[in-house]
Structure 1
Amino acid sequence: MPAPTISVVSPTRASAGNTVAITGSGFTGATAVKFGSTNAAFTVVSDVRINATVPAGSGTLLITVDNPSGTSNGKAFTYSGTPGARISAISPASGPSSGGNVVTIVGSGFTGVTAVKFGNVNATSYNVVGPTVINNVVVPPGVPGTALVTVVTAAGPGGGYAYDYVGAPTSTTTLTDVPDPSVVGESVTFTATVAPVPPNVGTPTGTVTFNFGDGSPSVVVPLSGGVASTTHAYSTTSGSPFTVTAVYSGDSNFSASVGSGTHAVNAAATSTALVDSPDPSVVGQSVSFTATVSAVSPGSGTPTGSVVFDFGDGNVSAAVPLSGGVANISHTYTTTSGSPFTVTATYGGSAGFSGSVGTGT
């Protein structure tokens, strides 16, 4: 019994609960139909047709069919209502796993394109001709099988299309990150290990391109002994966990390959130091209070946000914005009753930094 093959999915855009007809071969004895990673209810009509009920979900994904011999190629499917660009054709729709070949993408909504992705990996380069055509798309390396191609705009990845990588790989790339999770500003070491696929032997050479998934520039690192390492510090938690990729270039003996993973980033802890001048003061004298908010190691960077001062005499300030991690305010005491006053500076935190409190008298 060979693994199944899908040739057509109809319709390619529908809502949960609708029926999708899958045409191909090798469907007798099918054990699963999956929309992405979600199992769907299905009926095997014949060896060449399956009717599947669209499960709950969203976005764009690949439909596959399993039987005891393996998993089929994938075909793209998009849930109704998914915003963004739509791909209607890719020419050619297959190519070598080493990548580097050029394809043309046809569809709609190709305005404000920020990326063309083959799975989680960005195309090496592309040219947006207009809202319906993207040409000179240089395919990145991939693993044999089907990758979901998407065109990313401000509305999201939109409707995808299936692209088949062909050819047996001769290398694998494994990506590790330490520490994981990290905090904002902390240095993270990413290591890509490129190894031959048995029965191939030897040590791959070439380069690895690291993409950290946060919009920062990619970094190209040469292999040494089959290993490439680099460090990166994330400046925000927005987008965490980030998808990180390590793309091996290949060499004369080994094909290109891709390693990927996710990296979680948490807010960095902070400390707030409070100083006042002059101290002591006299009734009616203006006192300057300064709160300095700093990231606590291993985090780094300059916290943003605001500080609220409580002067201990029943008066509480409005939020004072930080500038360069510092907030200043003046206050005049009208009585000695309650002196020495306990003063607090409360930093409320931000997307990348947790809150903290400084106190003094």
Structure 2
Amino acid sequence: MRMRLFRNATAFLAASVLAAALGCTSSPTEPSSPPVTPKPPAPQTTFTVSVTANPSNITAGGTGSSTITVDVRQNDTGQPPADGSQVTIVTTLGSFNSANSGVTTLTLALVNGRAQANLFSGTDVGTAAVTATFGGATGATNVHINSAATFFVSSVSPNIGDAAGGQTVTVLGGGFSQPVRVTFGGAAATVRSVSPTQIVVVTPSAAAAGAPVPVGQTASVSVEVFNHVNQSNQQTDTIDRGFTYTVGGGGGGGQPAVFAVNPASGTNDGGTRVTITGTGFQSPVQVLFGIGSTASNFNGVEATVVSVTPTQIVVLTPAARGFGQNLDNQVVDVLVKNVNSGFSGIGAQQFKYGTKVQITAMGPGGGPASGGTRVTIDGSGFEGPVAVSFSFTSPNVSVAQQVLSVSGSQIVILTSPAPLPTTCPKNGLISATSVSVTNINTGDGATANIGFNFQLPTPVITSISPNGVPNGVDIGSPVIIMGHDFGVPQNMGVTFGNGAGGSSGQVTGGSSSTINVIVPNPPQGFTFNTQSCGNGGTQSAPTPITVTVTDLTTGCASTFTNGLVIAPPGPNTCQNSTAPVASFTATPVSGHKMQFADTSTGNPTSWTWDFGDGSPMDHTQNPAHTYAAAGPYSVTLTACNAGGTQCNQTVKVINVP
């Protein structure tokens, strides 16, 4: 009896607790307890990702890099995520860690919310879109990868120094990039500093350069510069006889040195006024034009000295024939002798004797392909009126130039437009290989292999706005291509995609620095990247595409590798890689009505029901169907995933009451 009472009490207590929890009371007049408010879910933590690049411009093919810095902060508190949390960075151009490593995706560990990596340029020119992703948040920045400056060596200043070496000189040129090496006659100089246009070095000795200097003479050596030393893109350029060694550093102690003769040619009849530049000249001097490597074996004809300074001598050339000499039409040496000290210096192959009309120099050496550059031609024997023409090899034509003025030793012209080649020449340069001058009244003339470079306006892309990072630009949207040296809009072609098979975009306007274009459908064969989506499927993702701008008049083009990110066209549905497994249950409701319930696995997104009685198909997930009569029926369910790419079918016989 006591056992039964205890059990009843326990049951009553449990019922009371349950009733209280459900808001029930024991009295119909007693108010119910307030409902229990469900606890809201914990708020989701979100983050902000910022990405910066320093510097934001690097040079293609160079050794420099841009430091990519990623900062991650929690939106609500501003605090960083836990140390060691991983952030993923991706670049569309260049590579991380080292030059040409091929690493374009990198996972980094955050410390106090920050991580860094180095982006190297590689050889392609364009804009690297760098994105960082953490906890579903994305940040991005751009790094512009620009063309490297043209590498060349133009001169050494000063270009004369003591045979003992140890002199600081500057090598002038362009496109210099460390590491560099400079040699004088094959002997390495000590490099003090490097800039894009200058290298400061300390000269080695003449003995180390293989050019010992006897007393009273000079010795010239070549100067060679090695750019990007011991790298795959190493370059070299040389100035022949670019530096001259002397005893005492350039004429000290009465030793003359000859650097140049201008003009460097004249008639066989003599009388050409020339200027000899150098150092160590001491009046009185004797100047000979002839052949010889030393003063003791020099055979020549003496010139008439007009004036003398320590660095310059003006003379009138002697006739090529005289005193047993026959120097007609020859390239000769020039000897300068300081009479009082007896020291002499020889400038090897400094002057050319020739016919009456001589072309000795022309400058400047280049201008725009449209013409209009004022150019001076120096020489001798010019008698107006004259005709001047430039000869080209590609195409093989001769083009007359406009003559502005003529004197006996100088002609001033205005260049005509250059002939356009069939394809864009290297670096956009159309080169005239020679210049010809003809005295019209006498027919006398001369041709000199002195070139002139006509520069075509070669288009260069620097950026695209918007660039589509990170979500992509929709096909059919307008974008603006920015850069320089674009032609008139109607003569510019824009293609999207690699190679000649790219899709052409519709150019709607622009200027010399902008092109407005509509993004076309990508070319045949272009493949969008993919990304994960729901239920283990994949879908197309925003993908970089290469953009090329071509000047249709000249054929010159600029390619912006992966310069624009385009969005995949819709509908961009999630595609599952495996089919669902179809299954269902059937439950009688009333009469001949049955309720069907889909129990398929694999997350199907569409259903097709065949109820087995000849009625129309049903495409709802959980349909109800009324049969005309009782009996067995064969029911078929076909379940498919997103896009209908994978389907599965099941058949079940049901009994309808």
TM range (shorter): 0.3 to 0.5
TM-score, normalised via structure 1 length = 0.35
Structure number with greater Rg is: 2
Higher helix share: 2
Higher RCO (C-alpha 8 Å, min separation 6): 1
TM-score, normalised via structure 2 length = 0.21
